[in-house]
Every structure is written in C-alpha cells, then in structure tokens.
Amino acid sequence: MRTAVSALLVIAALLLAAIAGPSLWLQRNVVDGPGFTKLAGPLGSNSEFQEGLSALAADQVTGSLDLPPQLNELAGAIITSAARSLHTDPGYEAAWTKTLQRSHELTFNAAGNQDVQGDLKLDIAPLVELVAANVSANLGVPLPTPKDVVISVDQPKVAQALPLTTKLGGWSGWMVFIAVDLLALGMIVARRHALTLILGGAGLAAVALLWLLGSGWVESALVGMAVGPEVAQQFGIQLGALARASWQGGITVTFVIAAVMMAAGGAALMLKRRRTT
C-alpha cells in the first residue's frame, strides 16, 4: 500500500513539475516586465531587427512633420539617415530599454481587457524622440515629437495566448511548491527510499528531456505566429531564439538535480547493501 501511494505521489509531483517549470520561466521572462526587458534586450543589437525598427522610427518622425513641400524631401532624407545610424547613438540602449518597458506594459494591459483582441502594442516613442533630437540638431529646427507612438500589430494567436500565459505565470510559484512537497512526501512514504530517489531522479530527467524537445517546438511556434509587418516577423523570429537559449539554463539545472538525486539514491542503496553483507 505504501509503495503504491508513494508511486502516485511521485508521479503527481513529476506531472506538476512538467507544467510548473515552463510556467515559472514564463512568469520571470514574459509576464514580469523587467524579466521581459532583459530577455528581449539583445534584440536591439540584432542587425536585421534594427533595420526594420529604424525604418519604422523614420516613418513615424516623417509623419509628424508639418513642413512646406519643398522641404519634405530634404527632411525625409535627413531623417532616414539619422534613423539608420540610430543604433550607434549613445542614447540608443536606454531608448530601446524604455521602448520594451512601455510596450510590455501596454500589451499586458490590453491582454486583461476583454474588448481588445488580437493586438500587440508597440510604443516606440523613445526611439522616435532620439531620431527627432538628432534631426533637430542637424536642421537647427526643433521637431515635434508625440508623447506616445503606439503601433498596434495584429497578432491574434499571440494575443490569445497572453491571458493563459499570465495565469500560468501567476500560479507557477504554487505549482513549484506543491510539486516539491509531493515529491518529498512520496520519498517519506516509500518503503525503499533509495530506490524511490533513483526513480524520482530518472523521472525528473525525463521531464527535462521533454522540455528540451519542446523548446525547439516553441521556437518554431513563435516564428509561425509572427505575422504582419517585417519588423513584427523579425521580432517573433529573434525572440523565439532568445527564449530557447534562455530556457536552456533551466533545463540544465533540472538535469543536474536529477543526476544528484539518482547519485544520492545509488550511494544510499550501495551503503545499505554493504551493511547487510
């Protein structure tokens, strides 16, 4: 009876852990604003993404101008040049970080609004301000910059996943706590503690392997879900690669914990055998 109860507790712990691990990663790297900013920060130095972002910023600055027709072409050329060199500006990193922070807040606020469906919010006002400041310095004329430059990117599949992502992230801490408690309880109830520890470690390694195989699928899914403008597609492609690389750390740690559990169980089993001989 104790063996059956122990097996059920360990299996339940492993099943819950399989969900809790990715949920915890989502909470720390997607739902949490600073975590998302850290995850997506390297996108700002990606050359392909920079090109699309620069073009987007240039369009927004040009659209805010109210100049005579004869000056539009000249101003447009200066703006385009300034936007292309945007990533070399000393203030670019701070502006990109602020863009991510504002966009994350807008997107997740929209995710909690039932009237908003399919929109991801991108606020590039900090980048537009940076381009406008450089152009103003070259022209000697201050350019008006709007307080917010919010671009709605129609991404229905991504937007539909945000509420579930938020819920899973919010529950992640409890799921981890319950999974650890169930596993510990399964070890306590077991008749053969060493063998249960080995099997529990093997099960945890299987969960980590499942995550490893699933990480490639998640990256492909993010790429497939990104539609619309080129900059949105590049965001999905590059973010998928960053997410997969970030998740590798959690998978490695889980493999290490599984190996330690199996090694401890094996050592305890050998020690017990020596005592009985």
pLDDT for 165 equals 83
pLDDT for 78 equals 72
Encode pLDDT of 173-202 as tens digits: 999 999 999 988 988 888 888 888 889 999
pLDDT for 34 equals 92
DSSP states of the chain: -HHHHHHHHHHHHHHHHHHHHHHHHHIIIIISHHHHHHHHGGGGG-HHHHHHHHHHHHHHHHHT----HHHHHHHHHHHHHHHHTGGGSTTHHHHHHHHHHHHHHHHHHHHT-TT--SEEEEE-HHHHHHHHHHHHHHHSSPPP--S--EEEEE-HHHHHHHHHHHHHHHHHHHHHHHHHHHHHHHHHH-SSHHHHHHHHHHHHHHHHHHHHHHHHHHHHHHHHH--SSHHHHHHHHHHHHHHHHHHHHHHHHHHHHHHHHHHHHHHHHHHHHHHH-
pLDDT for 116 equals 45
pLDDT for 136 equals 76
Encode pLDDT of 233-271 as tens digits: 677 777 778 888 888 888 999 999 999 999 988 888 887
pLDDT for 74 equals 65
pLDDT for 12 equals 93
